[in-house]
């Protein structure tokens, strides 16, 4: 809810600049701008849109507002592109809206920012999310097993209820926590096979960490190309997991700590 504020509370906004190129990569300014447009959109929705109890609950509607405000106010091209990117990734990765709403959002985004310098990244994210919706087969990404053999995700997930989780040697704390969680869940949820996918770790270190953690190495795989894996499975955040049943996606945005 928006609190009652004095009439001059936002008077400073009259002096804001949206066109100074020198400010584009000044972090405090950029962070302010992301929050500023969120606030503008929220206030606009609350006062001008037909919503119940002045509560903004429709994420698609709210984020379309942000895009249109950025388009109408920001003059500096790079800043505008970066702010558009922020809205798009925030919506696509965090809201986890329906496939239909994602399609509507990306259509509006492309109409307003078709030449965005981040368009390839945003298109890849959108396509990746579209391809991992419930009831679709998990993308057929190639992984390497503990014996150095290539095997696809669909082969690994075949004829079982599987939970794919992700880890990297770059975050030892995360790996320690996720390993303990896997060992716990394997006992509590024996109907699932918990399958680890390692990213950005050399082979020897990967194998050593798996053995030290006491994980079943027959359920451990390594991704040779993180970019391809990320495009296909949208690995965000790192605690996410993908639940499948006979290689068909049940939930591609589950969480190892909250979904079981």
Note down the domain range covering 89.
11-130
For residues 195 and 156, the answer to whether their CB atoms sit within 8 Å is yes
d(CA 10, CA 6): 8
Burial 218-245 (b: 16+ CB within 10 A, else e): ebbbbbeeeeebbbbbbbeeebbbbbbe
Q: Please give the sequence-ordered ranges of beta strands (E in DSSP) within 102-160, or none if there are none.
A: 142-144, 150-152
Q: What's the full length of the chain, in residues?
A: 260
For residue 164, whether the previous peptide bond is cis, meaning omega lies within 30 degrees of 0, is no
- Which residues lie across from 220 on neighbouring strands? 196
Q: Are 94 and 62 in contact (CB under 8 A)?
A: no
The CATH number given to whatever domain includes residue 159 is 3.40.30.10
pTM, two decimals, is 0.90
The residue out of 88, 106, 130 marking a domain boundary is 130
User: Within this chain, do residues 151 and 86 fall inside the same structural domain, yes or no?
Assistant: no
Residue 137 within a domain: no
The DSSP annotation for 32-62 comes to HHHHHHHHHHHHHHHHHS--GGG----HHHH
Distant-in-sequence, close-in-space partners of 33: CB < 8 Å, separation ≥ 6? 79, 83
**Domain closes at, from 63, 97, 130:** 130
* pLDDT tens digits for range 94-152: 998 999 999 999 999 999 999 999 999 999 999 999 999 999 999 999 999 999 999 99
Do 15 and 114 sit in the same domain of this protein?
Answer: yes
**Helices and strands per DSSP (H, E), number in the chain:** 9, 7
pLDDT tens for the chain, residues 1 to 260 = 677 889 899 999 999 999 999 999 999 999 999 999 999 998 887 766 665 555 556 889 999 999 999 999 999 999 999 999 999 999 999 998 999 999 999 999 999 999 999 999 999 999 999 999 999 999 999 999 999 999 999 999 999 999 999 999 999 999 999 999 999 999 999 999 999 999 999 999 999 999 999 999 999 999 999 999 999 999 999 999 999 999 999 999 999 999 99
Q: Which residues are CB-contacts of 213 (< 8 A; sequence separation ≥ 6)?
A: 175, 176, 179
Whether residue 5 is contained in a domain is answered as no
Answer yes or no: are the C-beta atoms of 126 and 101 closer than 8 Å: no
Structure token digits, residue 179: 């390993």
CB contact burial 41-57 (16+ within 10 A = b; e otherwise): beebbeeeeeeeeeebe
Look at phi and psi of residue 135 and say left if phi exceeds 0, alpha if psi is from -120 to 50, else beta.
left
Distance of alpha carbon 133 from alpha carbon 253, whole angstroms: 9
Residue 81 and residue 152 in one domain: no
Question: Is the separation of the CB atoms in 228 and 197 below 8 Å?
Answer: no
């Amino acid at each position: 809810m928006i609190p009652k504020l004095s009439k001059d509370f936002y008077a400073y906004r009259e002096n804001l600049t949206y066109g100074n190129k020198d400010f584009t990569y000044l972090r405090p300014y950029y962070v302010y701008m992301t929050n500023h447009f969120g606030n503008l959109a929220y206030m606009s929705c609350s006062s001008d849109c037909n919503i119940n109890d002045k509560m903004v609950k429709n994420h698609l509607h709210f984020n379309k507002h942000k895009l249109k405000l950025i388009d109408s106010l920001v003059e500096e091209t790079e800043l505008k592109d970066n702010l558009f990117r922020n809205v798009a990734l925030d919506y696509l990765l965090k809201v986890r809206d329906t496939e239909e709403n994602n399609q509507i959002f990306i259509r509006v985004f492309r109409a307003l920012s078709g030449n965005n310098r981040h368009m390839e990244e945003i298109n890849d994210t959108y396509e990746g999310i579209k391809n991992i919706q419930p009831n679709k087969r998990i993308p057929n990404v190639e992984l390497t097993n503990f014996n150095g053999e290539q095997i696809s995700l669909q082969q690994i997930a075949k004829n079982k209820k599987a939970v794919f989780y992700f880890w990297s040697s770059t975050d030892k704390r995360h790996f320690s926590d996720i390993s303990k969680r896997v060992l716990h869940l394997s006992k509590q949820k024996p109907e699932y096979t918990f399958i680890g996918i390692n990213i950005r770790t050399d082979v020897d270190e990967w194998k050593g960490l798996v053995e030290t953690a006491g994980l079943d190495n027959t359920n451990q795989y390594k991704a040779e190309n993180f970019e391809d894996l990320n495009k296909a499975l949208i690995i965000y955040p790192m605690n996410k997991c993908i639940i499948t049943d006979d290689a068909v996606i049940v939930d591609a945005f589950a969480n190892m700590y909250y979904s079981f």
